Every structure is written in structure tokens, then in C-alpha cells.
Chain A
Amino acid sequence: MAAERDSLDYKALQKQLAELTLGRPLYYFARVDSTNQFLRSLPPHQWRHGALALADHQTAGRGRHGRRWNDRPGMALLFSLALDAARPPAVWPLLTLGAAVSVCRVLEGQGLAGVKIRWPNDILVGERKVCGILVEKAKVRSGLVLGVGLNVHQTLDDFPPAIRAHAGSLRLCSERPFRRSDLLVAFLKDFEKVFCLWQESEDTPLLDECRARMATLGRLVHLHCHGRLVEGVVMDLDRDGSLVLREPTGIVSRWHSGEVELAKWTED
């Protein structure tokens, strides 16, 4: 099955972005090491809240601790946003959850069912990961960079064998065609509202939206953290976005770091 692609029309996109508060200026790259890295490195005089870096292909897309994000040109929607964070660092991680909520709403708006958040920064459709989010600090004081990588046009053959069982794309989840520029504009429109709520310290509605889409709420999970494996049932998200687990001993623990998997996945 040949993979379809869509082109990112820079001029058309610029016109659409002109009506939004986020998305300007637009830096478009046919190929870049990492859109997050590009914005993070902007010197203060070039830094603008709302600046958008968009790429057709990343050669060094990064996840946690330098892990690679795989992509082939034109297959994924890859972008980063520059954000001025007026609130203190303790609540910056809530932006990761807020962006996850926005991605979910965009995908739901495209008619996709079974869209879930895997705490803290992955979006699943069914049990396949279609999107990763990474918020990083910029060089500029109080500047944050929100990076999103959304698999759009990939077929299973486009994913390396090692991740084929758990990776997905919108094309694999739905018969309908998708345009990356439409998805981007829909995300920016939604995330504007999320960012406003966050700036106004209105965290409760964001956390409620996030809880409603948590893939693991009420389920038994394995949490991997610093070489430890912790088993527990996900009870809740705390108000700072941390994960609340009830462990088999009965102890309720709160986690700010780690990777979560449904316990059944590791038993397969």
C-alpha cells in the first residue's frame, strides 16, 4: 500500500494563521534537526510568544533523554510552538496535559473514536500511539517550547519492526483522508483556549478534560521509574498533573515521573 502525502502550502497556511493568536511568525522547514531545538535556541531578540516552527521532516526529533522520534518526509505533522510562561515552573507540566487534551479534541473533531491520553504525553487511538508531546524550556527566561509529533499518513510498513505493534497513524485508524495543515490550524485554535485557561490558573477544567480521556484511569498499570517497576491502579490525576496510584500494599503514591503501560501489555 503506497503511502499518501499532502503538501504543506506555506502561503495558504500563513493566511490561515493570520487569524490566530498563536502561529506567528511561521518558520517552515522542508528538513530540520528538530523544531523544538530550533525554537529553544532562538536568541532573546528573535523570541516571540506564539512563534511556530513547522517541518516536513525531522532528522533528530527528540523524545525524553534524547530518544529518537521516527519519521519519513511528509508523513507526520511535526511542529513546535514558542510560549511565554507567566506561571512558575511547578505548573509548567500542566501544559503537556493541556496540549494532550487539545490533540484529543482535534482528533475527535475529525471523527476518530477511542482517542485517549497515556499519561503524561502520549496520545493513543485504540491502543496505538499516534502522537507524542514534549515541552522543554527555551534559552529565553520563562520561555517554553511545546513540541508535537502526530503520525498522519504512515502505513505499518513505515514504522520500524520494533514499534510496529504499538505505533499508529491517523491513516491506519480511519478511512478518511487527512490534511496536516487542517490538523495544525485546528490544534492552534483549540490550544489557544487551553493556554488562556492555564494562564488564568484555571487548571480544574483542563484536569477534568484530561481525566475523561485517560487511557489508564481505574486500570492496573506498570509504571517504570528510575529502573524500578511499580504496579498499581491509577486512582486519579493530582492537581499538579501527577499520577496517583494505589499500590497492592494499599499505599497511595503520587508520581511525577515515569512511563506507564497497562499491566496486560507487558504480560503479552
Chain B
Amino acid sequence: MAENEMSESGAQPAASGPITIEHLREIIRLCRENDIAELKVKHQGMRIYVKARTGPAPVEYVTTPPAAPLPVAVAPAPETAPVSGTPAEIESEESKYVVIRSPMVGTFYRAPAPDAAPFVEVGDAVRENTVLCIVEAMKLMNEIKAETRGVVAKILVENAQSVEYNQPLFWIKPE
């Protein structure tokens, strides 16, 4: 599907030559069409950061609402807009960590069952194969692994909340 091709090929514009305004337009268009919340592209020394606007907007689609009551009038808008420049503070803080992102739209679970202990807590040491959480979509339980060695620095999503494709879930401080 498009959003996946997006992350694999769309995020790597033309192998040669700089990123042009056409590439940028295409990236924004793909982000908008595929409800991508956030995207970073690094290419030949140039860095682009695209983030979806989250304010109210007259859009029809609401993604799976979170556990908390959803104000009906305020729909999370999958409308993307280019951000001029780089949000330096976020960039520098995030760059210290490995960011674990959701590979799919779904529901985020911190534990294997409602009455079970969470897979990990902040401060826990993790290895490549350590399961951090489950993202469930249509009853498919996808265990997300750390894929790196380090320590859980931050858990960015509450249990049983819906998550978007590519949404950051954890920050891992590498070993």
C-alpha cells in the first residue's frame, strides 16, 4: 500500500541530485494522502521535517479514537503542512535516542493481557529481542521489539490508545 512504499522509497527522493520543490510537493502530497503524522528525510546534507497539523479542521475521517472520550467536533486532522526550518529543540533531544515507531495504525498495548504487568517500564534495560509493546489492528497482535540495546528513556503513548502509522512510541537510550 502507498504508505509503506512511502516509507521505503518515497522517503528517499531521487538517488542523485538535491531535493527539489517538486520532490517536496510529492512528499507532502503522499504524507497527506496516507495520514502520515510525521516524516523526516535526510538527503545530501539537506534535512526536511514534515509534521501533520493536529488542530481542528473540517475533515470527515477520524482515526480510531483513544480511550478518553473524544470531543466529537474536534477531529484529528490528517492534514500535513511543511514546517519551515528544523524544530531544533526536538531534533537535538530526539537525536540522543533511538525512536521506536509504530509500523501500523492500531491500538497500543503496554502489556500482553489486561491483567498482566507491562512489557517494560522507563529505566528498564532492553536488548534487540525485548518486546516493548503490542500494536493491535483487526485482532492482529504485532509485538514490537526494541531492535537495539539500551534503556527505555520515555514511553510516549498511554495503554489502549490508538496510534498512527510511524507514530513514535518509545525513546530508547542506546547502550
Contacts and interface: CB of A to CB of B under 8 A. Distances in A.
Interface string A230-268: 000000000111100000010111111110000000000
A189 interface: no
B103 A89 contact: yes
Secondary structure at the B interface, as helix, strand, loop or mixed, is: loop
Contacts of B104: 88-90, 92-93
Interface string B94-126: 000000000111110000111000000000000
Contacts, number: 110
Contacts of A203: 1
Contacts of A102: none
A190 B17 CA distance: 47
A74 B5 CA distance: 45
B67 A227 contact: yes
Interface stretch (A13-21, A50-58, A129-137): A129-137
Contacts of A240: 1, 105
A66 B109 CA distance: 14
Nearest to A223: B64
B141 A137 contact: yes
A139 B5 CA distance: 25
A258 to B, nearest CB: 8
Interface in B49-90: 60-67, 69, 72, 75
A45 interface: no
Contacts of B67: 226-228
Contacts of B66: 226
Contacts of A226: 66-67, 107, 160
22 contacts: A64-B136, A64-B141, A65-B114, A88-B7, A88-B104, A90-B3, A93-B137, A93-B139, A96-B140, A133-B139, A135-B139, A137-B142, A137-B143, A226-B66, A226-B160, A251-B62, A252-B60, A252-B62, A253-B61, A253-B63, A254-B61, A257-B107
Interface of A: 64-66, 87-93, 95-97, 119-121, 133-137, 201, 203, 225-228, 239-242, 249, 251-258
Interface of B: 1, 3-4, 7-8, 60-67, 69, 72, 75, 103-107, 112-114, 135-143, 160, 162, 165
